Structure formats: C-alpha cells, structure tokens
Amino acid sequence: MCGIFGYMGKSNAPYIIHQGLKRLEYRGYDSWGISTIEKGNIVTTKDTGHIPESIKLKTNPTTVGIGHTRWATHGGVTITNAHPHYSTDRSFVLAQNGIVENYTELKAYLEKLGYIFDTQVDTEVIVKLVEHELKTTKTLREALIKAFKQLEGRNTVILLDSKSGQILAIRNGSPLILGVKEKDIYLASDPLAFNQYCRDIVEINNGEMIEIKDGKYKLFDIKKDKYINRKPREEKLLEIDIDKEKYEHYMIKEIVEQQHTILKATEYTQKQLQPFIKRLKETENIYTIGAGTAGFSADQIAYYLRKIGKKNAISIKSYETESYLENISPNDTVIAISQSGETADTLEAVEILKERGVYIASIINMPGSTLSRLSNSYFMSNAGSEICVASTKVFTSQISFGYLLSKTLVGEYTDAKRELRTISNNLEDFFSKKTFKQIENISKVLKEKEHFFVLGKGQNFHIAQEGALKIKEISYKHFEGFAAGELKHGVIALIEEGTPVLSIVSNDKNVKDLISATQEVKARGALTIGIGDKQDTDCFDYFIEVAKSNDLKAISNVIPFQLISYYLAKELGNNIDKPRNLAKSVTVK
C-alpha cells in the first residue's frame, strides 16, 4: 500500500508528480502529498482524501520533487500524518511505503534522546533517525543508509534534499522502480505511474539505494557498500486502460470484459505449457498460495488440480504458510497467485520458500512485478489493467488458467479450450439488459438487510467465499460464505425471519444437498436466493439463472455475485471503484 513517486528532469515536476500519483492511487487513497524544491526551499502541498483531478499546488513550476499517496497504517487520516514529512530544520522531506515494525522501540530511543514527535506515523521515526545519524556522519546519504539499516519490516523510503537538490531512495520489500528517458528520471512504486512517458526501466532490488542528482542516477548496494552499474532495459509494461467506454464504473466494465479475458488468460499452447506440465507430473505435492481473492483463486485452482488433475494439491493462504514451511520440500511445486505480483504476504512466503530451494511458479497479471522476478516460471493472466479495487476479471482469468492446467495434466487440453469457448459465448448472452435488471431489482431488496449467508459445496464452495468477499468489499454489508455442509453444525443458529441466504446450485452431484440446505433455512424464515443452473423446486424466493457451462461452473456462478456487489453498492451510494479502507495492492503485512 502507499504509492511513492519521484521526478527530476526537464518538465514541470508538480504536474508530472500529480499525474503519477493519480496513477498510483489504487495503492492507497487516504491522503496525499507533493513536495518540490523552489529557490532552495522545500514546498509541500498535502491533503486528505482522493487526489483531485486537478490541483492548485503551493508550488510554482520546478524540475524536481517527490510525492506520496497514503494508505494509513500508523496514525489517523489527517493532513499532519500525510507524507512527505519534514526534518526539523526543513532541509529534507521523506516519504515511506511499508511499516517500521520496530517503531515503538525506535521511537522510545529517540524520545529519550530528546526528539519530539509531531505526528502519529512511523515515518517520522525514520526522519528523526536520519537527523540523529546526521550528527555523526558526513553526508545525508550516509545518514539515510545508517538509519535505514536499523528499520525492521518491508520498507521503501524516498527523500528529497533541498541542500544538494538530490533525491535518495532505498528499497527493501515494498516495490520501487526507476524510469529513464534522456534527462528525465522517474522513480515510482509501480512503472504504471510513468509508463506514459518512458519505457526504459532500471530494476531496484532489496537493499539498493538510488541517488538522483543533476539529471543522472547512481545505484548503490547498501549491504556490499559499493556502486552498481545497471543499464536501463526496455520493459513491455501493461497499458492502463483508463477509458471506461460506455460504462459508469470500471467495475461493471471489468465484469463484462470477462467473456474475453477468460480466453486471453488461456491462450497458452500445449507446447508452451509442456515444461510446466512435466514438472507438475513429476512433483510430489503442489501448494497453491495467495491472499484475499487470489487466496480463493488458490483454493479453486488446488480444487481443480486435485479433482481434475489427480494431484495432491494443497491451498494455503499466503499469510498462514508458517506451519507448512517445514514440510514443503524441493520435490514440491508452489504456485503463487497474485494480480499485482506485489502482495507483501505472498512475496514473503515465496522468498522463504525460494531460499529453501522450492520451485516457484506464479500466475500474475502485472508484467515486471516483483513476484515475476522471484519466480522460476510465471504465467500471465493477460486480463489487461484491472482498475476497480475489487478484483473480478482477474479472478476468473486465474481460475480459467488453473482449469486449463489441470485438464492438460490429464491430456484434456482440447476439451478445456472447448469448454472455455462455450462459457465465453454463453456469457455474451448472460450479460443482457434482462440479467442486469433482475440483479438490480434483487439488490433493491437486499439493500434493506444487514447479514447475509452464502452456501456452496464442491466446485462452488470457494465461489461462495469469493462471492461473499466481493459483496462485503463494495457494499460494506456483512456477507459470509460457507460450505453448505457447515450449516447444520452452527451457522443455522443465525437464521431468523427474513435472513437472506444465497445458495449456489449447479446441476452436479451436490445439488440435492444444496436444495435440502435451502429448505432447512427456508423453514426457519430465511429469504432464499438461488444462483446457478435452473432448478425444478419452489424453495427459492428469487433465482438467478447463470450462463451455461459444463465443468467450469465456478466462473458462471461467481459473476452474479460480482453483479450483486455492484448494484448493491450503487443502491447504497458507495464509492464502487475505490471502496473505503481498501487498496488494490497490499504491499504491507
């Protein structure tokens, strides 16, 4: 979370930084700040909330500056807590992406030395630490390195110094990338922030410092204490598709795009998949890992690998890998799933596993991301830019690829491709005015309720969980997804007159269980909504018939949840593309 941007060049820095921060806003939009150097002084403009389309900055055109868009970790969302933060003598400002995990100890140490803190943010600890180190070092860069080495956690910092006119930044964990075009130098948490200006990038690895001065950059390894010569290389970066076309929100545009994106994610030929299929055949266990929606993708992909691919596949949440680590060996294969390729929980697990010699494959949507660089091999989801914070099209792209992989493992590649085409065609019919109207009307009924339960089983169990997550994220209503089998073991105690229960029913061997579960909640007064293949029963108060599919029902069934999420949030007047408290890329733990 949080986005960092730095610029030095021939153009108007405040404008470039503002544009860059707008493109980084998906990483956090609690507050923002821009600092530039004017006549030897640092001038800063900060505010809370979203970065406005156009801003009136306190600064005049100038050619160097840094910016930050915040997702609050320590300290409330206030202008004082917004980055960048000034040093006591106002000679430098610093912004950070990450969490200083030993913040309490460092703050106590600095307070004892007499430093006074004005904010609640952990970033101020870094600023004061740099000031403190500056007392015994010759240069600001030395002081920054010394201070940085004392920080625990995944932190990346950027500093603007008015005395030397330079930008300094150090990376550890949280992403940072350099863009170079002649005398223009860009620094950002994500190349998307500057790829409208330049394509030549320089990767910055953990433990490396970048120094930008007089239109030139230098890279320094702070562990080995030496300069590194790394030339820029051209990177094929993802284009941000900022055109909403005829749609009111990115979310609905991205939902409708799924009829195409599931095919894009599975364009791999058998020949391209072959080396990885060979590895999977030889591997003992497969572990899939991810967090949030990517975590449910990991669950669903492991389900396909077991059920279709006949492999021992275990899904683990990235943030809960610890108890498994000892048992995962180089004979196993890990498949890490992530839209951004920058999720801290996933990266941390991958880093540990890689060190243990475990083969890492990943499924990612962002080219050039940290996860792609850490992986032994990776597969692109090719879903195009997903701008809405709630993931929709990337989820179905990931599970489509997992399905293709599982079918290819048992020699059914062609069959899988046929199924994907079928569902893509059927989705085209499903996305009709009639469907949208029906779901909009159901959302009007749901709007009045607070607690909701979603039931699924087998191929639809994780879809119930992902469906519930999707609706929570945008509507802020309490949705919980369960395995239908769990109902009688406790959840049913929560059912009372009018409680909405959404059951996912597919024409598979679990259908009878789902209908029985629905009858049981209906007998206790629940408002019942069926989602799935048409059923000959009167147990549902409402029924959403999904796009027809054979064994890829997970895709057909998750889409109505995405649409309920959208229409419910719209009814409630919520910010659909940028829901409260969330960020698209969770780069802190």
Sole window of 21-29, 167-175, 384-392, 457-465 interacting with ligand M6R (rule: CB under 6 A)? 384-392
How many contiguous H segments (helices) and E segments (strands) does the chain have? 17, 25
Are 66 and 17 a contacting pair, CB within 8 Å?
yes
Report the C-alpha gap between 458 and 80 in whole angstroms: 50
Told to judge if 2 belongs to the known catalytic residues of this protein, a careful annotator would answer yes
Using CB under 6 A as the binding rule, whether residue 134 contacts ligand M6R is answered as no
Using CB under 6 A as the binding rule, whether residue 156 contacts ligand M6R is answered as no
AA letter at 468: A
Are 378 and 361 a contacting pair, CB within 8 Å?
yes
* Comparison of 92 and 378: residue with beta carbon closer to ligand M6R: 378
- Residue 245 Cβ vs ligand M6R, minimum distance, rounded to whole Å: 22
- Which contiguous run of DSSP H or E holds residue 299? helix 293-307
Using CB under 6 A as the binding rule, whether residue 159 contacts ligand M6R is answered as no
Closest CA to 265 of 276, 256, 257: 257
* Comparison of 148 and 461: residue with beta carbon closer to ligand M6R: 461
Question: Residue 38: CB partners within 8 Å, gap ≥ 6?
Answer: 59, 60, 62
Are 227 and 150 a contacting pair, CB within 8 Å?
no
Size of the site for ligand M6R (CB under 6 A): 16
- Residue 365 Cβ vs ligand M6R, minimum distance, rounded to whole Å: 8
Cβ count near 55 (within 10 Å): 16
Q: What burial class does residue 346 get, using C-beta atoms within 10 Å of its C-beta: 0-12 exposed, 13-18 middle, 19+ buried?
A: buried
**Percentages helix, strand, coil for the chain, rounded to the nearest 5?**
40, 25, 40
- Residue 337 Cβ vs ligand M6R, minimum distance, rounded to whole Å: 7
Site string for ligand M6R, 343-362 (x = CB under 6 A): x--x----------------
Are 369 and 320 a contacting pair, CB within 8 Å?
no
Using CB under 6 A as the binding rule, whether residue 387 contacts ligand M6R is answered as no
* Comparison of 59 and 369: residue with beta carbon closer to ligand M6R: 369
What secondary structure letter does DSSP report for 580?
Answer: T
Closest residue to ligand M6R, judged by C-beta, is 292
- Residue 101 Cβ vs ligand M6R, minimum distance, rounded to whole Å: 20
Q: Contacting ligand M6R (CB under 6 A), which of 34, 360, 582, 588?
A: 582
Q: Cis (ω within 30 of 0) for the bond into 191?
A: no
- How distant is the alpha carbon of residue 580 from its chain centre? 15
Are 293 and 318 a contacting pair, CB within 8 Å?
no
* Comparison of 85 and 393: residue with beta carbon closer to ligand M6R: 393
Using CB under 6 A as the binding rule, whether residue 475 contacts ligand M6R is answered as no
Scan residues 292-331 and list those touching ligand M6R (CB under 6 A).
292-294
From the list 183, 226, 584, 589, the catalytic residue is: 584
Using CB under 6 A as the binding rule, whether residue 391 contacts ligand M6R is answered as yes
Are 562 and 548 a contacting pair, CB within 8 Å?
no
From the list 2, 198, 388, 539, the catalytic residue is: 2
Using CB under 6 A as the binding rule, whether residue 471 contacts ligand M6R is answered as no
* Comparison of 171 and 393: residue with beta carbon closer to ligand M6R: 393
Told to judge if 253 belongs to the known catalytic residues of this protein, a careful annotator would answer no
Using CB under 6 A as the binding rule, whether residue 63 contacts ligand M6R is answered as no
Please give the residue ranges that form the binding site for ligand M6R (CB under 6 A).
291-294, 338-340, 343, 346, 389-391, 473, 582, 585-586
Active site residues per annotation: 2, 584
